[in-house]
A = this chain, B = another copy of it.
Amino acid sequence: MADKTKTRKASSRPTAAAAPPTPATPPASIIRITREPLDSDAIRALEQAVTTAGAGGIVTFAGVVRDNARGKRVRSLEYDAYPEMAESEMARIAAEVARRWPEGALAMAHRIGPLAIGECSVVVVAACPHRAEAFEACRYAIDTLKASVPIWKKEFYEDGEEWVEG
């Protein structure tokens, strides 16, 4: 934006080349509670949706279903959500990210329903001009999501099942 104020000479350059840098206005945040798989294509689509020409650092967190927890072998998971409130809490997180990192853009998606080992349960993407902000915004968003968004996890074991915290 800095050279927007410079005097621009008449020139034969194409208009696009003489334009100032892309404005820093990021795209709107993306928030999603979904029963569809968060597979490679879905993650890539979220990343592309928040990436502008001014984004120099993109940090993606993917939470993946592990085959063990607290020493138990986990066979599969099920996530449940209070969807209307989950989305409003995620919107609150996105608003705080927009306030703290105004040049950043954020995407958050959480899958619900049954999940197999190795599948992705949650994705957070933060795209910012610089990497420090992208790391901080991504970390803030996933930490806050875990602390405040009404989503629950049931683990299925060899010999039982349990709703677990964390």
Contact = CB atoms under 8 A, between A and B. Distances in A.
B73 A21 contact: yes
A131 B13 contact: no
Contacts of A55: 64, 66
B73 A51 contact: no
Given A58-B62, A61-B131, A139-B135, A53 B67 contact: yes
Interface string A112-149: 00000110000000000101001100110010000000
A120 to B, nearest CB: 8
A63 B68 CA distance: 32
Interface string A50-84: 01011111111111111110111101000000000
Contacts of A134: 61
20 contacts: A2-B71, A13-B158, A17-B75, A21-B67, A21-B73, A22-B68, A51-B118, A53-B117, A53-B118, A55-B64, A55-B66, A56-B63, A56-B66, A57-B62, A58-B60, A58-B64, A59-B62, A63-B131, A131-B142, A135-B138
Interface of A: 1-3, 13, 17-22, 40, 44, 47, 51, 53-68, 70-73, 75, 117-118, 129, 131, 134-135, 138-139, 142, 158
